Structure 1
Amino acid sequence: MMLHAQVYRLHRTASTLRRTSTAVGSLERLCSCIVYKLAETWPPQHPSALFSGKMVDDAKDRYRLPTNVRPRHYDLTVRTDLEELKFDGYVTVHLDILEETRTIQFHVLKLKLEQAKLTSPSLNGPIVQHGSEITFDEDDERATMNLSTTLPAGTTAELRFEFESELLGSLTGYYRSSWECQGKTSYYALTHFEPTAARRAFPCWDEPALKATYTMQMVSRAHTVNLANMSVHSESIYAPHPDPDSDVAAWLSQKLPEGRHEMWKVTTFQKTPLISTYIVAWANGPFSFLEAAYTSPLTSKTCPLRIYATPDLVHQAQFALDIARRAMPIYEQVFDIEYPLPKLDFLVANDFNIGAMENWGLITGRTTAFLVDPLRGKLLDKKGVTYTVCHEIAHMWFGNITTMDWWDTVYLKEGFARLVGETIIAGKLFPEWRLRQGFVRSEMVAAMRADAKLSSHPIEVECPDAKMANQIFDAMSYDKGATILRMLSGYVTEEKFLKGASLYLKKHLYGNAVTKDLWRGVAEASGMDVPRIMDNWVKKTGFPIVQVTELDGGIRVRQDRFLETGPADPKDNETIWSIPLTILAIDGGGKASVDRAVLLDEREKVVSVDTSKPFKLNAGTIGMYRVLYGPERLAKIAQEAAKRNSVFSLEDRLGLLLDALVLSKAGYSLASSVLTLYNILRDEEDRMIWLTMADGISEMSSVWFEQGDIVENLDKFCRDLFGPIVKRLGTDYSEDEDIEVRQLRTAAIQRAARAGDSHVVDHILSLFNKATATGDDTCIPPDLVTITYEIAVKYGGRKEWDVVEGIITTAKTPQVKRAAMVALGATRDRDLQEETWSYIMTKARDQDLYSYFAGLQGNPTARHFLAEKFKADYDTLHTRTAHNFRLQHLVWFSFTMLSSMKDYEETAAFFKDRDTSTFSMSRDQALESIEARAAWVERSSEDLRQWFEKMAEE
């Protein structure tokens, strides 16, 4: 009933704002969203007395363009002027008229349109439109052309526009990026259109299902390089002529002033295949490149690969190019589909909104996504570049060849790319990285952390407009999408899953698809009823906890929704998932077997298991669910896991550790039981187990950051665990050492230093002081750069802060620069925290804001400072991020690590009367995180104190 009241109040508010059309439009759209959700959620016995079915349809469809007209091909010409920092051009859109109409709607935003002309074989002559005949709705980001005559169904038309705009530093649409060249700031330009920003660069039908082909021309200063989705067809220098011999020459002759002898060139690109607007791309600038090629294993054709960057950075791009060269043929073999374009380029950008973007044939991304120092690049940097390159290449098939029909199923590309690209394919390139095991403690953790909140949302979520589309590029689409696809892969086998993906792609080549199309492909490959198993994982919010009760001759298993705040209320506990229980059992001879056939698809079920022998649910931690055992069974499982040659796999042991921490946080077990488990495993040798324990201790320290005695005891516990590892492995690195030894040493040094181990801290400070004194930072091992800067700022003062601040502008690699950005927030001095904030507000690039916020968030002494500064400068931050929707991330960093109900109330009060439509999900998640952390502190503080007292006595 609350929604009914909201509708009434919003309509009443709208009625008082008749003179403010923008406000009324916004309120009406919000009402429509609520109306649509009401129609979805009303029980069947409640007739929709207030709203007709047609109104519901209108509410759902008003954000989509009408279907009476569809684009078939774009002839697009764009001129870039990097000296004047503007662009202009013209486009002819070839249209199919599917229904009789006298109006044409299309998307456009922040563009000045001129010279609108419509021609059609059905018309006696062209229709030239003037401003009064085109209406603009900036809220819905579209324009409507009202025609003086009717276009008949079944005919075609051509719509031509001229357009122009400034090149802003907006990180979206067609925008400018800057770099320092010979002591001055220079610029280049590139596009970023996902999800709904192509309309900022040219008038278009900006929806993923409205695919068309493109013929692209770029006009630019003669000394610059033009890039686009396709290969260059021709390139020539423009020469003024009284009788121009081409359309672009005639257009330029009108645009360029007489008497100015400027050299412009025209680059024409090959025609694209059918492509969605969000992966159309182009760029212009003084780029240099590295090149390679690969041979298709399917056709034996050679495909050229290039990576472009500004001349000062391109030498760091070789590693990314090598990854692409190695990965491309593997993708062709896995999908059994040749990469269809004639080339694949990458472009490295100094200013970029996200990590990277899969534009077809022209992948773009920030410096940290593609660059690695060829001599001193650390392993973590190489892993990050590998993940990014493999992720974006996965999209060349999953997303670009076959595209989701609408943004509500964006997981079809993002979840898939995270699993197949970052885990399966990257794992084939570097098996020694053990990425399949790493998935459990990274992507799976991220998915379950976000989905354990009431404020979560289904993977498939209603996505009416741009504000919502930008918010769902989140852990649900990426990490939960990947996690449930991994679960499906484990259930049907990876071979059949990838075969099903190939069938899915082949059936929807150059088209669009929805979830059921992928399920059909996997069902065909596996012979299983995939929709029955998977639909609720995609369509419903949350995931289950499975409670195990032992019986004579078996176990009773019960599923309920898991929430980090504790057992769910009945109204939030209605979903029944189909859960692959995947039971690992051990026989009398100690041999393990896995039963993959048991599916828990009802609330409770009794399963036959020999409880006299060790057993464990969710073998391999494949399923996205928590398991709650009785204390005695959990102790037996822990004892088995602690054995040197345990039958439990690494994934099993990781799952046990992760379940223990989260179940404690939700109140199902004591917080002290987590530390007891860690203590049992202190003889563990595997790096991932140690990292998982370190993460657990860090999370507890973070939650209890305002209880100094508990934090100090947790730090001491951490020092006792990791200090001996540092002593055993030492602090020196060798190029030929085992990769696991290298990673464990790095992790142990980081954890011991953050816990205040004096020996480790002194060593790190000596590295920093030596680098500062000599001006040579090669004394700092690449793997320790991040922790060295952080510790130097944390334990230092003005001098150390100034040194790190200077590194931001002088760093030789983007990774070192980012390490300095994060470290700047580690200071415990309030005056230096103020200077850090001043730096953020006056000098930081917009794309780097979250790095500085992350540094302050990670510093317990700066968390309340960060929250208060965000509130004080909210309007400025809102303006800075208005074009790129990044405010949602800043909200998360600013508030999610607070741990008291007082913080909750103050945060909720701050946002109460503000427009949070572009970041409402982040706001709700932050508030729920504060609530869960505060409850854990209230419930478990005394338990932890007693455990530490007992440990001190032993």
Structure 2
Amino acid sequence: MPVNAQEGAVAMSAASSPYRLPGNVRPVHYGRDSVDEEFAYDAECCLLDLNIKTDLESLSFQGVVVVDLEVSEETSEIVFNAAEDIKLNAIVLHIQSQSLEKEDLQFGTDLDPQYERVTIRTRKPLLEGSKPQLTIVFGGKLSGSSLGYHSSSYQVNGTQKHCSVTQFEPTFARRAFPCWDEPAFKASYKITMVSREETVNISNMPVASEKAYTSAQATGGYGIWSTLSSAFSYLTLRKGAEPQSDIKAFSLGDGRWKSTEFETSPVMSTYLVAFANGDFKVVEDSYTSPISEKVIPVRVYTTPDGEGQAEWSLNVSKTVMPLYEKVFDVEFPLPKLDTLVANDYHGAMENWGLIIGQPNVYLMDPNKPDFNTTQRIAEVQTHEIAHQWFGNIVTMSWWDNLWLNEGFATIMGALIILGESYNIALTDRPDNFLVKPEWNSSARFLISQTSDALALDSRRSSHPIQNPVDNPNEIKQLLDQLTYAKAASVLRMLSAYVGEEQFLKGVSLYLKKHLYGNSTANDLWDGIAEATGLDIRSLMDNWITKIGYPVVTVTEKESGVIHIRQDRFLVDGSPSSEENKTLWNVPLSILTSDEIFKKSTAQHTLLDQRETDIQLDTTKPFKLNGGSTGVYRVRYSTERAQAIAKEAAKEDSIFKTEDRIGLVSDTLALAQASLSDTSSLLNVIELFKDDKENLGWTAMNDAITKLVNIFWEDEELSEGLRIFQQSLYAPIVERLGYDNQDDEAVDVKGLRTLAIARAAAVGEPKVVKELLSRWKAYNEGDESAIPADILGATFRVAVEHGGRAEWETMKKIYESGSSPATHLPAIGGMCNSKDPELIKEVIEYTKKPLRTQDFDSFWITLANNPFARRISIDYTYENFDAITERFGRGFNTMKNIIESTFGKLTTEEDATKLESFLENKDTAGYNMAVAQTLELIRVNTKWRKNATEDVKGWLDERKMI
């Protein structure tokens, strides 16, 4: 990126914020590719770079970084980021381009742990255009925090081993090395790693050279250490400390060591820097760039416990890389793409050239494949690869535009690349890439993304997609469903409105214009505007800058006319006049038995005012939001809603899967908001009970689960809804059986898995008996007795209908299993007991140093067990301080604990108690989750009160209570 353009991006930062860095001094390069004779370092020392020495035995690291800087405005201060996690041992300041005496370069420093900033104040000002260089010596511990540069553990033959990995998004690079830790401060990197000889080092770029690292290099026999120990500008940063007479270099313990030098990277933001060290195994392949015809290596690294389970991830990588090059018309600029799979990691991270993710989203036992795992790996990796362009080559200027990265990667990974729902012009997909139209990515997107986004955004405690943020606690909380799912859903709506081909053409124009730079949402809108000729800024402004979304109410007037009106949708009732000021540009997409009205044929498809009338033949079936591409709810009269549902239930209906999913989702939301009877939801589900599609059933199951959860402490209604669910799922199991056939569509396999799991969960006797029989055979050594797709359901049934013996077996499977194929089902089994003592033992078990992702899985799964909820709640209250001490500085674990533990409560007393309890607690890192959970409890309370008699009457009419 041109220097002046990047300076502009930095200058636009909130200069007055104590959390933000001034833009007058910026890094150009971390590491030195040339040696200045005046300030000579010995090239053999390998310390001209961002140099990290990792010791996996002591779980510590040491580092030296040389940063080339550029001064754009005269200043006497250099300000950069460093967190307390790293100890800064020494700083050397040197200037090549400004004539100063050595004594003029003396400086003082301030270390501000609250704002994670270090300020160097020089005796004489640094002139505009000068190019200082900082050399900083630092070190730290490889903690298990899953943030910064941290350790990751795994088991080999019962022995715990460690590797080290990075997680720097959003503001955790400063926990690993001193840096300018904001996305607009892009710089290039020259990284060298020193490690034990038997380990493997990987980073963003390919290895340039690797050689032995000797004790002479480590103990000061070369220029860097003598320069530091006698430097005119050296000082210690710890208050009260006397300057050291000698600077210790990298200390080497027993064993043999090596240094691995990596090629210099293009300019990138600090949060995308990555490096790792460990005993890694690798599978590799390559793809040929359709633009340059270069052969680009792709690899997947794993720890030894994951060896042999990464082939599908590799297959996804090598297949989607050339597809992205075609879609964006921009060649992948790096010489390789690696992926590392490691424990103690949150999801996956798109580091440029070195994606890192947890086993649950990357590994699949080839001997135990299942569709859900296959699809999840494909979606996650396709998402992360999208970032290699959208986020890494072009990066948001500040974190308020984080949604720009995540929303776009989500729509690409979950919809456009994996599916063919928009008839994207990529006809040469390789035959071995098992992504077919039958995945129905468009319908799946509604369930996995839009549904959760709309649920969260219907609360007053929501936030705009583009939300002003300042400090790190605010930034990390933006990594939520609004930033990912709502942003992706809004982009899907725009793509459907302007046409996918034009949408992607605009994206390509945007990328090409801002290559290697920083951008904002308006830059993307301008690219799409250039491709479409539309005013995209005006069209999209309220969707990203305002909280919430509309409900469009349809009122039928005289024959041939419907009146439509938009108002903000709130799940706890009607908005106030102040809350209802926003007017959205709503693409109505009216679907009739004749056609979908498009902008080119009808002027009234975009609702850009409060209300209007539309000419429409209401004697024919019609539905607003055809294909459910819009981010809004639709409310009809009771009669019209029932008529649409009846039409959608027909096998030859013009309303497809996406429309049925949208109807279920809207009916659920309107019931929650008391804008319709909850029995209307039950009626729709009853009408759709003959649906043959897995995704339609998935939407219905999600709706039923939400309804069941508000009555979980009402014994009579819980029993009635259990019987209702049995009547839905038992016939499907009876029709489909238990075992997948090779020639079956994935949709059939998915529906079988869902129906068996739900029938077992509601105690359908025949299904429970069959699964217990299979469990017995499995437990006696016949692993083939339980197909991978129903392993989770079987494990849960075994513990629910068993006792301590089954629970102990699950624990053994969990502790010995190295594959997610058994790992996650075992957690589900352990958490599914009805026995209070076993539930308490699970909670005690989570006090152990579990893998970070496993703790979250245990806690969320416990919350889904109604017999465990009150026990978990009591434990959380009693041990809150200890839980906070353990997870308070973590990524989003406290958020997950609050939401999962308390989010299914349904009384005002519970809301008041939680609110009072947290009133004096420091919830700065998860205050959004607290507000959203408190509101949800009150929404649940209101819905339960309003729906009780209605649901009771519906069930009584069908003799289910």
Question: Does TM, normalized by the shorter one, top 0.5?
Answer: yes
Give runs of aligned pairs for residues 813-824 of structure 1, distance below 5 A: 813-824=819-830
- Aligned ranges 1:337-348 → 2 under 5 Å: 337-348=330-341
Give, in angstroms, the shift of residue 323 of structure 1: 0.6
Equivalent residues of 1:500, 1:525 under 8 A apart: yes
Q: Partners in 2 of 1:756 and 1:355 — Cα distance?
A: 33
Are the equivalent residues in 2 in contact too, given 1:534–1:578 (CA < 8 A)? yes
Q: Shift in Å at residue 358 of structure 1? A: 0.4
Tell me, yes or no, if structure 1 residue 523 matches structure 2 residue 529.
yes
Q: How far apart are 1:256 and its partner, in Å?
A: 6.4
Q: Distance in 2 between matches of 1:174 and 1:329?
A: 31
Which of residues 483, 489, 495 is equivalent to 2:489? Answer: 483
Q: 1:856 aligned to 2:812?
A: no
Provide, for residues 708-733 of structure 1, a one-character-per-residue CA deviation record: whole Å limited to 9, x for no partner: 11111111111111111111111122
Equivalent position to 2:541, from 535, 540, 544 = 535
1:882 matched residue in structure 2 = 888
Q: Does the CA contact (< 8 Å) of 2:301 and 2:340 recur in 1?
A: yes
Matched, 1:79 2:53: yes
Instruction: Look up the match of 2:292.
Output: 299
1:370-409 CA distances to partner (integer Å, 9 max, x unpaired)?
A: 1100111211111111111101000000000000111111
Map of 1:230 onto structure 2: 205
SS of corresponding position for 2:949:
helix
Which deviates more, 845-854 or 186-195? 845-854
Displacement after TM superposition at 1:123 (Å): 4.2
The Cα of 1:127 is off from its aligned counterpart by: 6.8
Of the candidates 356, 369, 372, which is equivalent to residue 361 of structure 2?
Answer: 369
Paired residues of 1:355 and 1:366 also in contact (CA < 8 A): yes
Deviation, 1:826, is 1.4
Q: Distance in 1 between matches of 2:120 and 2:820?
A: 47
Give 2:722's aligned residue.
Answer: 715
- The one-character-per-residue Cα deviations of 1:643-671 (angstroms, maximum 9, x if unpaired) are 22001122112111111111111111111
- State the SS of the aligned residue for 1:233: strand
Q: SS in structure 1 opposite 2:634?
A: strand
SS at 1:171 equivalent: coil
Cα displacement string for residues 74-126 of structure 1 (whole angstroms, at most 9, x for unaligned residues): 01111111122111111111111111111111000121112211111314245
Where 2:389 maps in the other structure, the secondary structure is: coil
SS of aligned partner of 1:883: coil
CA distance in 1, matches of 2:197, 2:960: 78
> Contact 1:356–1:366 (CA<8 Å) still a contact in 2?
yes
Matched, 1:905 2:897: no
Confirm or deny: 8 A CA contact 1:115 1:128 kept in the other structure.
Answer: no
Match of 2:595? Answer: 592
CA distance in 2, matches of 1:715, 1:108: 55
Kindly provide the CA deviation profile for residues 586-608 of structure 1, in whole angstroms up to 9, marking residues without a partner as x: 3xxxx334334421111111112
Identify the residue that residue 401 of structure 1 maps to in structure 2.
393
> Does the Cα contact within 8 Å between 2:592 and 2:623 map onto a contact in 1?
yes
Q: Is the 8 A contact 1:118 1:127 kept in 2?
A: no
The answer as to whether partners of 1:404 and 1:413 remain within 8 angstroms in 2 is yes
Q: Distance in 2 between matches of 1:622 and 1:449?
A: 16
Question: Residue 122 in 1 paired to residue 122 in 2?
Answer: no
TM-score under structure 1 normalisation?
0.91
Change beyond 3 A, Cα 1:827–1:496: same
In the alignment, the residues of structure 2 paired with residue 626 and residue 267 of structure 1 have an alpha-carbon distance, to the nearest angstrom, of 56
For residues 817-855 of structure 1, give each alpha carbon's deviation from its aligned partner in whole angstroms, at most 9, with x where no partner exists. 122123322111111111111001125333322101112
1:31 maps to none
- 1:647-666 aligned at under 5 Å gives the runs 647-666=654-673
Amino acid at match of 2:509: L
Is the Cα contact below 8 Å between 1:213 and 1:273 reproduced in 2?
yes
**Contact 1:118–1:128 (8 Å) recurs in 2:** no
Quick one: which amino acid aligns to residue 545 of structure 1?
V
Aligned length: 892
SS at match of 1:841: coil
After superposition, what is the alpha-carbon deviation per residue over 1:497-549, rounded to whole angstroms, capped at 9, x for unaligned? 11111111001000000000000011111111111111100000000001111
| Residue 249 (structure 1) shift | 12
Q: Which residue of 2 aligns with 1:34?
A: none
User: Residue 76 of structure 2 aligns to a residue in which SS?
Assistant: strand
Aligned to 2:371: 379
- Once the two structures are overlaid, the 10-residue window that deviates more, 503-512 or 56-65, is 56-65
Instruction: Decide which structure has greater helix share.
Output: 1
CA contact (8 A) 1:117 1:126 kept: no
Q: Structure 1: how far apart are the matches of 2:136 and 2:849? A: 39
Task: Give the conservation status (yes or no) of the 8 Å contact 1:119–1:127.
Answer: no
**Residue-by-residue CA offset, 1:684-720 (whole Å, 9 max, x unaligned):** 2222222222222221111110111111111111111
8 Å contact from structure 1 (residues 555, 609) kept in 2: yes
Report the counterpart of residue 195 of structure 1 in structure 2.
Answer: 170
Question: Is contact 1:225–1:286 with CA below 8 Å preserved after alignment?
Answer: yes
Q: Which moved more, 1:289-298 or 1:560-569?
A: 560-569
Q: Does 2:949 correspond to 1:942?
A: yes
Aligned to 1:952: 959
Indicate the larger mover: 175-184 or 248-257: 248-257
Unaligned segments of structure 1, at least 5 residues: 1-55
Paired residues of 2:563 and 2:614 also in contact (CA < 8 A): yes
1:63-82 Cα shifts (integer Å, max 9, x gaps): 21011111110011111111
Q: Classify the secondary structure of the residue corresponding to 1:861.
A: coil
Q: One-letter code of the match for 2:471?
A: D
| Cα distance, 1:150–1:643 mapped onto 2, change above 3 Å | same
CA distance in structure 1 between the aligned counterparts of 2:458 and 2:808, rounded to whole angstroms: 41
Structure 1 residues 335-381: Cα deviation after superposition (integer angstroms, max 9, x where no partner): 000000001111110211x1100000010011112110011121111
Structure 2 CA distance for aligned equivalents of residues 397 and 220 of structure 1: 31
- Residue among 172, 178, 194 paired with 2:153: 178
Determine whether 1:453 maps to 2:459: yes
Matches within 5 A, 1:274-423: 274-352=267-345, 354-423=346-415
1:236-269 Cα deviation digits (max 9, x unpaired): 1123559957759999997569997742211111
How many angstroms does 1:861 deviate by?
Answer: 1.6
1:754 corresponds in structure 2 to: 761
- Structure with more relative contact order (C-alpha pairs < 8 Å, separation 6 or more): 2
| 1:503 aligned partner | 509
Distance (Å, rounded) in 1 between the aligned partners of 2:772 and 2:838: 19
The equivalent of 2:937 in structure 1 is: 930
Q: Contact (CA 8 Å) 2:906, 2:937: kept in 1 or not?
A: yes
Alpha-carbon deviation of 1:311? Answer: 2.5
User: Whole-Å Cα distance in 1 between the matches of residues 280 and 767 of structure 2?
Assistant: 43
In structure 2, list runs of 5 or more residues that go unmatched. 1-11, 32-49, 230-245, 421-434
**Conserved? CA contact 2:895–2:929, under 8 Å:** yes
456-465 or 258-267: bigger deviation:
258-267
1:785-835 CA distances to partner (integer Å, 9 max, x unpaired)? 111111222222111111111111111412421221233221111111111
Contact 1:207 1:277 (C-alpha < 8 Å) held by counterparts: yes
- Measured in 1, the distance between the counterparts of 2:273 and 2:614 equals 53
Write the distance in 2 (CA, Å) between the matches of 1:465 and 1:122: 35
* SS of aligned partner of 2:308: helix
1:605 to 608, 612, 618: 612
Q: For residue 229 of structure 1, what is the amino acid of its counterpart?
A: N
1:831 paired residue among 837, 840, 847: 837
Please state how far the C-alpha of 1:59 moved relative to its aligned partner. 8.7
Letter in 2 for 1:704: F
Please say if residues 13 and 20 of structure 2, whose CA atoms lie closer than 8 Å, have aligned partners that are also in contact.
no
- Superposition pairs for residues 23-34 of structure 1, below 5 Å? none
How does the TM-score come out when normalised to structure 2? Answer: 0.90
What residue identity is the alignment partner of 1:847? Q
* Identity over aligned pairs, percent: 41
Q: Is 1:214 equivalent to 2:180 in the alignment?
A: no
C-alpha separation between the residues in 1 aligned to 2:354 and 2:14?
37
Following superposition, the deviation at residue 62 of structure 1 comes to 2.9
Say if 2:13 and 2:398, in contact at 8 Å, map to a contact too. no
Amino acid at match of 2:772: L
- The answer for the alignment partner of 1:914 in structure 2 is 921
* Deviation sequence 1:171-211 (CA, Å, 0-9, x none): 11111111223442221111110000000111100000100
Runs of 4+ aligned residues of structure 1 deviating over 6 Å after TM superposition are 56-59, 127-130, 248-254, 256-261
Asked if 1 retains the 8 angstrom alpha-carbon contact of 2:324 and 2:386, the reply is yes
Range 202-211 or range 893-902, more displaced: 893-902
Conserved 8 A contact 2:453-2:486: yes
- Secondary structure of residue in 2 paired with 1:178: strand
Q: Which deviates more, 551-560 or 241-250?
A: 241-250
